[in-house]
Amino acid sequence: MLTVRPGGKENVNWSDGLLISILVRYPEIATINFDPVGHYLKFSFISSKVLEPEYFDRIKKQAVDSIEVFNLLEGRKSKVVEINRLDCDQLNIIEVQRDLDTLVHEEIALIVKLARVLLGENLVTEDADLNLDDDQFFQEEIIEYMLESMKGSNSEKSLFAFREEDRVLVFNK
């Protein structure tokens, strides 16, 4: 996988690397946005079926409750937990926004697991290479390290990352 930036540069910094690592590890995540002003990440998941408003409200409540309980058990208070739905023709995009200061890798794994369980077969996932357990463990360690490194950073770049043809593309917004 490769980071592609306008102008042909292929340098990777902490924020780029974090987005790349998350997308490589979790094929369920369609896109990731990093907002340096609000200091949050926004994960997007795609449902191949339009979700009824009542059903979306139920899964939103379940997801928010699960994230809040997870953070309570970890002794943290989340600053930002927002879940929204975008209607796009015959599908929905579910956006989960989390502040970077209290986010940990285990919570990202929880969010992905919740998307798998709550959206079921409607969750659109990228075909991923067969990940060996050692590979997954290594990727998770990298994500955790980069998350911690990003918490103290003052990055001014707003970033958008997504997959296309077995590559991860990261762009400045």
Count CA atoms closer than 13 A to 89's CA, side-chain side: 1
Sign, CA torsion 85/41/67/164 = positive
Q: Tokens at residue 141, please?
A: 């360690």
Cα–Cα distance, 113 to 125 (Å, whole number): 13
Count CA atoms closer than 13 A to 29's CA, side-chain side: 27
Whether the model clears a pTM of 0.85, i.e. scores above it, the answer is yes
pLDDT digit string, tens, across residues 17-69? 899 999 999 999 999 999 989 999 999 999 999 999 999 999 999 999 999 99
The secondary structure of residue 6, as a DSSP letter, is T
Q: Which residue has the tokens 């917004």?
A: 173
pLDDT at 32 (0 to 100) = 98
pLDDT digit string, tens, across residues 106-162? 999 999 999 999 999 999 998 765 555 668 888 888 999 999 888 877 777 899 999
